[in-house]
Every structure is written in C-alpha cells, then in structure tokens.
Structure 1
Amino acid sequence: MRHYFPFAVLLSLTFFCHSQEVKNDSVTYLDEVVIVDPVQNKKATGITPSQVIRGKFLEDHNPIDVVSAINQVSGVYVLSGALNTNRITIRGVGSRTLFGTDKLRLYYNDIPVTNGTGFSTIEAFDLENLEAIEIIKGPKATAFGTNLGGAILLNTPLGDEDFTRLENRFSFGSYGLIKDNLSFTHADGAFSMSLRYGHVRTDGYRENNEFERDGILLNTAYKISKKSSISLLFNYIDYTAQIPSSISGTAFRENPRQAAFTWRQARGFEANKYTLVGLSHSFDFSENFRNNSSVFYTYLDHYEPRPFNILDEFTNGFGFRTRFSGNFNLGNRSAEYLFGGEFYVDEYRWGTFANLYEQNNGNGSLLGDRISDNKEFRRQFNGFGSLTLPLSDSFQAQLGLNVNHTAYDFRDRFFVGAGNRSADRSFDTIFLPSLSLVYTPDYRYRIYANLSRGFSNPSLEETLTPDGVINPDIKQETGTNYELGTRFMFWPKTKLWIDLTLYRMEIKNLLVAERVGEDQFIGRNAGETRHQGIELQVDYKLDLNKDFSLSPFLAYTLNDHSFIDFVDDGEDFSGNPLTGVPKHRLNMGFRLRGKHLFWSARYNYVGKIPLTDSNSLSSEPFGIFNSRIGYDQDLFEDLSVGLQLGVNNIFDVRYARSVLINAPSFGGREPRFFYPGNNRNYYAGIRLTYNL
C-alpha cells in the first residue's frame, strides 16, 4: 500500500488545479479554518485560529467512528485500538502516553470534561449527538487551558427556531453492528430542548471485542428575559467493552483477529457508567459586556478486570467556569476583551484486587483479595484573559494570559505505619502568555502568527514511583509554540479554500512513563523534544449545475518531530525521530451532493511510525479507501427519509490502527506492539424525520 501515496498526491493535484466560475454568493469571513460551513460561528475566542468539523462532514463516516471524523483534520491523529481505546495526538503531543488521551483539554458544550490528571475520554460521547467538533491545535487556546496539545470542543445541536421534530437513525453492519439514535427536539419561543437516546452494540472485529453502550442526552435552554438565559445539560453513558489488547508482530501477521492470550483467558473488559450534569447562565449586562457561567458535576464508575489484577475505581468531580467578554471603542475601531476562570476538583478512589482467572475453570476473571486501596483529591485552577486590539483596518493583535495551579493529595488507605504512602504534591503556579497577530488585507486572504507558552501536567502514574510514593522531583512539561499560517479563500469566482500552517514547538522536561511491570510505571522528566511540521488543508466546491455540487478536499501533514536531548538508562537517543508519530499523513477525497443523492469517497494514508526510542522498529505504512452513498427524500410534507450504505477498507488492507511504543517483553514472550485495524466492513442505515 505504500505505493498508493505518490499516486494519491498526484490525484489530489488534479482536484485543485481546476477552477470554474460560479454564481456570486455572499460570505461572512471568520478567523478560522472551517472544513464544512464557512459562515458558522466558532467557539474559539478572538482571532485564535481553529478547525471545525460540522454536520454533513461528521455524517461521512460510520456512525460509531468518531475517530475517522477527527482524523480528517491535518495535524491531528487518533490511534484507535478499539471503540473504547483511543489516544488523540495533536502535533505529536500525547504520542508517548501509553493508554488514553492526555495533554489536551476536552470541552462538551463549553463544560470541561477532562479529569483532574488531564485525561480525556472521547469514546464517552456519541458522534450522532454532535453538531460540531472544533479543534484548537497547540497551546494558543488561552480560554481553554493552554495545554501543549491544545483543546477539542464538542458541541451538540439545540434549535433556535420554532419547530418540533422527532427523528430516528438506525444503522447496522459488519461484526453484528446495531445502532439506534432516537431524538426529540422542540423549540417554542423562549424554550428549547433536545432529548436523545442512543444504543449501540457490536461483536467487534477481533476476539474478546464486544462493545455495548446506552446513552441519554438532555440539552435544554430557557430565555428568562432579553438579557438573561439559562441552560441545563445532562449526559449519561453506560457501556461495557471487552478488551482484546495489543498483539505481537508474529500474531499480527498470522491472525490479526486474535486477542492477546492472557486477555482472552481472563476475558478482560471494562464497564463504565459516566454522568455529566451542567447548569449554565448567560447574562448581558449591556451591549458591550456579557457573562456566561457554568457549574457542573461529573461521575465515573469504572470496573476493569485485567489479567494482572482487577481495577475498581470511581471519580466524583465538581467545577465552576465563568467567562466575561465585551468590547470597547479604541479610536474609531472596536477592541475586544475576555477574562474568566475555571476551577475543578475531583475525588478519585481506586483499588486493585487479585484476578484469579486461572483458577476459574475457563470462566474468565474472578475477584480475589484486595491488593490496594487509594484515594486522591485533585485540584486545578485556570485563570485566563485576552485582549484583541485593532491596530488598523486590516491588522489585529491579540494578547492572552493563562494562569494554572495544580495540586494532588494522595492517601493510602491500605498500608499503615512505615508502609503508608500518603503524600501530597502542589505544583508551582505557572504563567502562560500568548501573542497572536493577524493581517487581513481582504476578506479572502489572511496571514497570522502566534507565539504562545503551554504546559502538561503529569498523569497519576507519572507522579508516583514504582513503590507508589509521590515523586517530589517530577515537573510539568512546558513548551513554546511558534506558528505562522495563511489562508486563501478564492470567492466568489471559485469556492476554494487553502490553509497552510508552519509551526515549531520545543518541549522541556519531557515526561516519560517507563513500564517496569504489567501495571507498574516509573515517571520522570527525561529530556527535550522538538515538534515542527507543515499542515495543509484544501477544500473546493464546484457547482456542476443547480442540483449537483462536487467538493474535493485534501488534508496533508508533515511531522518532523525529534528528540533534542534524551538519554534513557544510559542510552542516548538525541536526534532520533519522536516515537509514536507518523512523518506523513494524507486524507483526501471528494463529496458529490445533489438534491437527493450524495456520495463521498476518501483515501487515508499513514506513514510508518517509530515504535522504539532507538528507532530499531517501525510500523508499516498503510493506505485505506472508504466510501459512502446515500439518498434523502421527502415522503410527505412533514416526513422525510434517508438511506445510506458505506464500505470501509475497500481493498481489505491489513494494517495497525494503533500501536504501543517501547512495548516490553515479559517472561521471554514477544513484545506486543500492534492493535490491528478492521478488515473490509460494511454498514447501512435509515433515517426517519417527522416534523410535528
């Protein structure tokens, strides 16, 4: 499949070298990269650039595949071992995290859903419940945490016009996939609400790979007066997912559908019950000054039998977020300002038990004696502010500052006396400034530059030694981001958008979680990395006639990430490419849309990924083709139907959709680096919409 890459680049040139004159349309210019709809508002503040995936672009994928939706953005790559095993990396940040997503902030309708140690769980949210996914790459998101990876903002739809709608989306497909999403939406004057129920079940491609999830989403808003409104968000997810885990290179070549031996024997799985409740209030003090504040509560009950032990944990989280914004006259121009804060505290309780699956007559995991009992209180405060100044009619500057303070209070409830490991750790308050400049001589052209500082907190494992004692010497990762970008929007003669970004970020005090046992890690600061690269995003719309339009697109990423200074266990890896990051990524294709018919096809190429710090082993590059076709039709005045059929991995390529880096070998067994991707698979669906 590696030979597809130059062919795909050549094919992409044929898409974008052609232009055709179209009808003159009006457009509103925004300081953002918008993949779907260039006239929609974004959530990123001021002139902060972001990328937005909306509506029909989210529907281009299998309805349970939020990963592929995010992977269409340049600079972002999600490694997905299973529906419940995802690791989001942005510009290489987060690639060294062994399991899960950290080093970025995740927000759901402006409410932070990243936990106290910085981990985010994208799989807790249903793709069909989302109206848009907005991605801010790098630490320039002053109002959203300034994490080194950036921020991802998930937004759900809520009607602002008077209507009542009942809609059901039913999908089925390979591996026993069954998915149903039932929604009721109502908007009437000052009140609007959206209530959704979702169910999904699949046997999965691999052994021990079943997944089942039920979820309820309630989103309501009430306009108290012309100046004041209140909204309530309730999201509940209950899912159980078996875990096939990673496999060795030999197993991957011989039979990629197999689960890791010990995980299959233990029938390893995870069960999660997740609740999010948020209450928000907006108030306009005047035309030039407004506030939005939210209080929120999160609860996670997690149970996970693994071959090496059984983990039982739950997390209670509480938080408050407020944001003031406004504008004032500066000469004959308007300047904008924003300030606010976000406070989050959670109580995390976890314990481990012996897993007696080997004594359970082949019936899987069996709860044994308690091994540990722990509690940790985690507190984090983010203060933020920004000022956007119009220096001329075409030149703007934005100054930003984020202030962060993080503290952990760890309590050992199992060991007593000299063996007790209770301790606390409070990191120094850190100040993270940002400067952005934007030059817009015409609404069709933009050049921007950004200089910003960011940070990442260590995870729970990284704060502890193998003996479970908090390491007082561990430091936060910090980095400085340099970014230069341009946007060309050829409008109205051609509907062509080209975005090109160059960036460089150097990260100090690199956090390394070295695995010394099946469930033991050493966390330490081990050196510096340099993240630099090029991101290209091209979108073009060609109106074929009054009913049909063709929209080719391309997203290319060049990652030139490397260790600047990295010595580990006496070995010097300085100068080596960063582990866990592909150098090249390409996502390209087209969308053909008519009055009733639509068809999309895309090609996704991922270059080889270094699997060890020494670069002695890499994954194989791969390219896969996906396609989807559908038909929409109004049956009656108030009833419409939609049909769709999709095929993923059309040429049945064997590939690793996720990898582990520096995988160890236990008991002389071969290291397990690979999470196999699905073979050729199909899905189909029907949508019924009734306007009451």
Structure 2
Amino acid sequence: MRIYLFTLLLTGLVTFTTKAQQTLSGKIAAAKTQQPLIGATVSVPGTPTGTTTNSRGEFTLTLPFATDTITVSMLGYQVKYIQPDTLLNNALILLDVDARALQEVVITGYATNRPIQQTAASVGLLTPKELERYNTTSIVPALNTIPGVRMEERATASYRLSIRGSSLRAPFGVRNVKMYLNDIPLVEANGTLPLNLLDAGTIGRIEVLKGPAGSVYGAGTGGTVRLETVRPTAGESALEIGSMVGSYGLKRFTVTASTASETSGFLVRYAKQELDGYRQQSAMDRDAVLLTGQFYPSDKQIFTFHTYFSDLYYQLPGALTREQYESNPRAARQLNIDQKASLKLQGVNIGLAHQYQFNEHWRNNTSLFGVFSFLNNPFTMDYERNANQAFGGRTQTTYSTLLAERLIRFTLGGEFQHSFVNSRHYQNKVGEPGKLNFDDEVAADQGFVFAQAEADLPANFILTLGGSLNFLQYDLTRVSDADTSSNYLNRRPFNPQFSPRLGLLKVISPQLSAHGSISAGFSPPTDAETRPSDGSFNTRLQAERGLNYEVGLRGNALKQKLAFDIVGFWFQLNETIVSRTNAAGIVVFDNAGATRQQGIEAAVSYAFIQDSRKPITLLKVWSTYAYSHFRFREYRQNDSDFSGNKLTGTPPHVWLAGLDIESKPGFYANITTNYTSEIPLNDANTVYADSYFLVGARGGIRRRLGLKWQTEIYGGIDNALNKRYSLGNDLNGFGGRYFQAAPGRNYYVGLQIKYLISK
C-alpha cells in the first residue's frame, strides 16, 4: 500500500513538473537598427534560471516552473519585462537604448559610428523622447533645446536655422549649414534649404554636428544637421491615424501605414496641416507624403530609400516697426496685404542608399539623390517664379583593422551635385505676375572629396585626422531682360578649398571623457546671395572661411543618473557675409571683414527615477545653456565702423530647462522653459529685440487596449505666460521694420490611434 501511494505521488509530481516546464525561444535586436544583440540576458527575476543570446541574437530558455514574467536585459539598453506566452512563436524582442548610458548612445556622424562618449566633437542629439516634448507641428522648439542652435520662424512655416551664429542673415531657408535626410544630402538647387518642406511629425531623430565638419561633409562653416525619418517597427504591421486642433485655426491630420519583417520594412505617411495664423496675412496650408523603406537581402547589405513630397502655401505678413509691433503685434505690413505677399512651394526629394559589408575590414556606403521643386513667390514689389532641379551622389569606403591590438579606421569618399534653376522675375500685380523684369538660368556644379583616419592610441586616446577638398562653380545666364533683351553669361568659379579637421579624445573612465578639436570651414555664397532679387549679379561676393578651436568634457555620474556635456569654443570667420534691406524691401549682401565668435555650451540632466517597474517610471530634470560672445572684428560700411560691435541677430544668453514625467499607467507630462536675452537687430547695435521668458507644457496618456489597439490622448499649451516677443527678426531692416511677432498663448489637443494588424 505504501509503495502504491509513493508511486502515485511521484507520478503526479512528474506530470505536474512536465506540464509546468516550457521551452521558449526568440531573437533580441536593437529597436533602432534592428541588428541582433549578442550576449543579451534572458532570465526569470529572483532565480538563477537564465541564458544569453548567440551571435545571431537568438536564444532558447527552458522554464522549470510556471512564471508570469521574464526579464530581457543588456548593458546600455532599457530592461524589458515580458510574458512567457509572447515567446511561444519565436518572437522578435526589440530593446531601446538607455539614454542614461552615454557610452551606448551611438553617433553616426563623422563616419565612425562611435558612442558619443568616444566622439571628439560637439554633438547635439534629439531622440523621439526629446522631439515629443513639444507640439509636432514644428521642430523649432525641439531644435532650440540644443545649446548653440537657434531656429527662428519669421512667418508661419518660414524657418531660419543658425548654429553658433551662422546663417542668421539668410532671407529664406537655410544656408551655411549642411543637411542630410537619411544620409541623403538635402539641398535646393539655389544653395539654400527650405526647411518648411519637411513635416515635423515625419522626423524621428536629429543629430547636430556643431562647427566646421570638413573632414566628412565638405563645405560649411556652421555645422551639419543629420535628420532621420520615422521608421517602421520590426516585426510589426500597423495602421495609425492622428488628429490635432488648436488655437489660431490649427488643424492637423495624419495617417500612417507600416509593415516590417526581419528582411524588409515599408512606411507611408500622409500629413495635412492648416493654420489661420496669429497675425494677419499669416495663414498656411501644407500636404506632405513620405514613403520610406529598407531591405536586408543578407547580413552584408542594406538598401534604404525614401521619397518625400510636399505642397506648401503660406502668406507673408512682413516685418513691423517697433511702434507697430508694440501697438498691435498681430498686424501685418499693409503693403504685404495689398500685394498678397505669399509663397507656394512644391517639392520632391528622392534618395536611394546602399550599404555593403564586404568583410570584417571593408565597408561601403553609396547614395544617389534628386531634388525637384517649383516656387511661386509674390512679394511686395517683385513676383518670382522658379523651377529647381538637382541630382547627385555620395560614396564612402571604410577600412578597419587592428594594429598592435588597437583599432585603426580609414575612410575615403566624395560627394557631387549638379543643380539648375530657371528663375523668372516679374512685377507683382496684386499677387499675379505682371511684366517680365528678367529671366535667369543658374547652373552650379559643386562637390568634394574627403579622407579621414581614426586611431585608438595608448592611454585610452582616440585620434581623428581628416580633410576635404571642395569645388564649386556657378554659371549665371541672363536669358532675357526687360530693358535690353540681351543674353549674357557670368561664370563664377571658386578656387578649390581644403578644409582639415584634427580631433583628440581621452577616455578618462567609462563615465568620463574629454575632447578637443581644430577644424577649418569654407562656405561659398549661395545663388540667392550672388543674384539677389534686385536683378544684380554680385560676382564680387567672396566665400567665407572659418577656423574653429574647441574643448569639451562629457560624462555621467551617480549611477548614470546625472549626465553632462560642456564645450568651450573659439571661432574666427573671415569674409563674413552680412545682409541689409534696401528701400524696395529687397535683401542684398556684402562681405563684412571678419568676426570672432567665442562661447560656452552646456547640457545637464538628472534622472531621479528611471525604472519601468515603478509607478512613476521616469522623473527627470534637464537644462541647457549657451553663452555667445560674438563680435565683428573688422567691419566698415561706407563711413560707419562697426568693428567691436555684437554680431547681429545673436543673443548672448540662452537658457532652457524642463521636467519630464512618465508613469506605468501611461500618463506623462513635459514642462519646458526658455529664457533668451536681448538680441541686436542691426549692425550698429542701436536697436535690440527684448529678452523673453517662455513656459510651455504637454501632457497626455498612452494606453494599450487589448492586443491590437494603442491610443494616445494629449494636449498642451505654448507661451503659457502670454509673453510678447519677436522670433525671426528682419536684421538691418529698412525703415525700422525689424519685428516679426510670435504667437501669444495658444493651446492644442490631439488623438493618436494605432491598430496592430500583426505582431
């Protein structure tokens, strides 16, 4: 009898144990790159049961007993807690980078793909978390959180971008700053970049490389901005719609479809945005379509592509005098109203890129691109119609090897672009083209070759040495003229310019590094500057040349709760191009001798809580500060000597701070502040824009409803204190018209709904 009971008990125990055991399998990859993570840990909390992933990121785990939670972790990534049932079908698990671990935040600029802790340069980075602190109708407030970067909005959807004081003089778009979209050069044929073509909601990541980056990106004294569009999530097919309404007639609608597997991914997004505008004559209407995709034919190669189309219209209210601005900041200049000043721009950007890893030593990245756009721009006295086209390519080959067990990397490449613009200028007859004034054709060939060497040295030093040789030529042809009907050609070649860069970094510890660099930059005048709207050919305008020195310290402390990045720089710019407005309201340009630009930039954050298991999963404070001591060195205009004056358009102090809160139930809140000191508005430093202090907030809740639905409801307020300030001033404005009033207090609310077709 005892033997029978013991046998029955043993049989039951074995049966129970067998039923409790589960064999699970899956693959772990990085959420951003979708590349497998080797050595990631899969375990049961509080027990010795666990395993690690192999060279393909795969794992198999046998559970000896029932559990409702499995932990997936890896150094530098956020811990993920999942249910065992999700692993029954060999699931793909994606880990997000832990923003606290600076040594794991990879910077893709400078062709090195090194962690930011090992990058010998001043770099600003915006991930989706930083971008989502603000209203997705514009990237202006998010970019302005990077110290040393200033983005302005002169009119609704009319943007101007400056890095350390560069390109504030640009009357339209962005110049003197190189920009790339998904590693594809993003530029218009006339040498400027209309940022307003881009819908902020399509941007998923931004890297800003400050100062000359001649070793990899060629001409440009301001810096380089690398934009990445949103990408589909691996292993997921989904449909998503979003809607937003807000003050001053804001209406926004988006719809997105995406699908992705281990070998490919596609995403298409349509965005519609309308705004009546804070001021008179400041309405806007934009339609944008993004199609992007990736193919992974093998472990060695990646194909990516994007097509971006935008149809944009916005009105131009014009600048106000101080008296008009203080009396009624919502007013527009009467001449702009009478002449129906506006801008309509249709453009498409197409890019195709291929990455091939030949073996463990050799890798090549090659991209081809095309840009096409059409511009209609009735202004106060002039109606401009442009047809723009540009095409080109970029390639770089990298060789990596070990020498005395230390990494050595060599990069060689080049970039070329041919552009053509047909620009016709008419008299403006109340928003319609009148008599032809002149018809110009502008062709430009520009490009550069570059080389870079990078070496790990003894004592944890990293040395980078590189340079680029830049070429540029303009052909300016006047096809017809209202007065002479004669044809004539102006050819403007620029002598090849060499731009070197030297960087040295010391890894003091895994949590601290120091860096220094010397770099030179070359920035030729754009078509808009050599051929302003008054019909003249300013062929005497010289290219800018700059030399930059900088040192910095970055790292983290207190168990990675505290992160900091401090940089000091000294930049000297020769043949500085400055702008002024003539009596007809047309912006013209001159070289202004030289400027000296010195400054300090700092960013710091402290995460009181960053733990996905707690009710409050994130509680973080952050702050950035930029001090700019920018002065004209040698600048004379007629009988006036402006040497020693403050550089026009640059505030000496900019300080931002904020608070980020996230909770396990899905509630979140972001509170932000911005203090900007007074800004000189003319070269004589006799007129200043007042300082301002802004407060904004955004909050909402993200929830999953069942297995298929994800929702987000949010709302926010900008300029909560209803401060009057001017953002995007007209520098050296004729007739005292300097001020472009920014919106007062405004609100918005929105809803996002996502349906998971498969996962």
Structure 1 length normalisation: TM-score? 0.91
Secondary structure at the aligned position of 2:248 is classed as helix
- Alignment partner, residue 554 of structure 1: 623
What amino acid is aligned across from residue 737 of structure 2 in structure 1? R
Pairs aligned (count): 653
- Measured after TM superposition, the shift of residue 472 of structure 1 is 4.2
1:36–1:585 distance in 2 versus 1, CA, 3 Å: farther
**Bigger shift: 46-55 or 338-347?**
46-55
| Other-structure match for 1:586 | 655
Match of 1:422 among 483, 486, 489: 489
**Alignment of structure 1 residues 2-151 onto 2, 5 Å:** 26-27=75-76, 38=102, 39-45=104-110, 46=112, 47-49=119-121, 50-140=123-213, 142-151=215-224
1:611 aligned partner: 681
Q: Is the 8 A contact 1:461 1:513 kept in 2?
A: no
Counterpart amino acid of residue 385 in structure 2 = D
CA distance in 2, matches of 1:471, 1:247: 28
Structure 1: distance between partners of 2:488 and 2:582 = 19
Could you tell me which of 640, 643, 658 is aligned with 2:713? 643
**1:444 match:** 511
Match in the other structure for 1:302? 375
User: Pick from 195, 219, 232: which aligns with 2:305?
Assistant: 232
Check the 8 A contact 1:629/1:644 in 2, yes or no: yes
Quote how far apart the aligned CAs of 1:86 are.
1.2
CA contact (8 A) 2:294 2:305 kept: yes
Structure 2 residue aligned with 1:183, among 242, 253, 256? Answer: 256
Q: CA deviation at 1:273?
A: 0.7
Query: 1:269: how far off?
Result: 1.2
> Following the alignment from structure 1 to structure 2, what is the Cα–Cα distance between the partners of residues 373 and 481?
40
Distance 2:331 2:745 in 1: 17
The answer for the alignment partner of 1:683 in structure 2 is 748
Q: Structure 2 residue aligned with 1:566, among 635, 641, 646?
A: 635
Q: Give distance in 2, aligned partners of 1:72 and 1:279.
A: 31
Aligned to 2:691: 621
1:140 to partner: Cα distance: 2.7
User: How many Å apart are 1:175 and its aligned residue?
Assistant: 1.0
User: Is 1:397 the counterpart of 2:463 in the alignment?
Assistant: yes
**360, 367, 384: which one pairs with 2:450?**
384
Aligned equivalents of 1:630, 1:36: Cα separation in 2: 24
Structure 1 range deviating more: 80-89 or 130-139? 80-89
Correspondence list, 1:511-550, <5 A: 511-518=577-584, 520-543=586-609, 546-548=614-616, 549-550=618-619
- Provide the secondary structure at the position in 1 that maps to 2:234: coil
The DSSP-based 3-state class of the residue aligned with 1:133 is strand
> Distance in 1 between the 2:654 and 2:720 partners?
19
1:401-448 CA-to-partner distances (Å, cap 9, x unmatched) read: 011111100110113979544211110000000000000021110100
Counterparts of 2:414 and 2:638, CA distance in 1? 41
Higher RCO (C-alpha under 8 Å, 6+ residues apart) = 1
For residues 539 and 82 of structure 1, the distance between their equivalents in structure 2, rounded to whole angstroms, comes to 33
How far the C-alpha of 1:256 sits from its partner, in A, is 0.7
Determine if the alignment matches structure 1 residue 432 to structure 2 residue 432. no
Letter in 1 for 2:493: S
Are the aligned partners of 2:244 and 2:749 in contact in 1 as well (CA < 8 Å)?
A: yes
Partner SS state of residue 194, structure 1: strand
2:479 to 413, 424, 429: 413
Q: Distance in 1 between matches of 2:297 and 2:663?
A: 41
TM-score under structure 2 normalisation? 0.83
Please list the CA deviations of residues 163-188 of structure 1 after superposition, one character each: whole Å capped at 9, or x if unmatched.
Answer: 11211221111111111121111112
1:172 aligns with 2:237: no
Instruction: Flag the 1:469–1:618 CA change in 2: closer, same or farther, 3 A.
Output: closer
Which shifted more, 427-436 or 606-615? 606-615
Unaligned runs of 5+ in 1: 1-23, 358-364, 666-670
Letter in 2 for 1:597: F
1:141-540 matches, within 5 Å, as 142-159=215-232, 161-357=234-430, 365-415=431-481, 420-464=487-531, 468=535, 470-490=537-557, 492=559, 494-518=560-584, 520-540=586-606
Maintained 8 Å contact 2:172/2:194: no
1:580 to partner: Cα distance: 0.7
Q: Percent identity?
A: 26
Q: Matched residue of 2:146: which SS? A: coil
**Kept after mapping to 2: 8 A contact 1:141/1:150:** no
- Which shows bigger deviation, 625-634 or 275-284? 275-284
Aligned equivalent of 2:701 = 631
| C-alpha RMSD of the superposition | 2.1
- Contact 2:719/2:746 (8 A) holds in 1: yes
The answer (yes or no) to whether the contact 2:214–2:467 under 8 Å persists in 1 is no
Are the equivalent residues in 2 in contact too, given 1:35–1:539 (CA < 8 A)? no
Given that 1:35 and 1:51 are in contact with CA atoms closer than 8 Å, whether structure 2 keeps it comes out as no
Residue 26 of structure 1 aligns to a residue whose secondary structure is coil
User: Cα–Cα, structure 1 residues 623 and 521, in superposed 2: closer, same or farther, change >3 Å?
Assistant: closer
1:194 touches 1:220 (CA, 8 Å); kept in 2?
yes
Give the 3-state SS of the residue equivalent to 1:119 in structure 2. Answer: coil
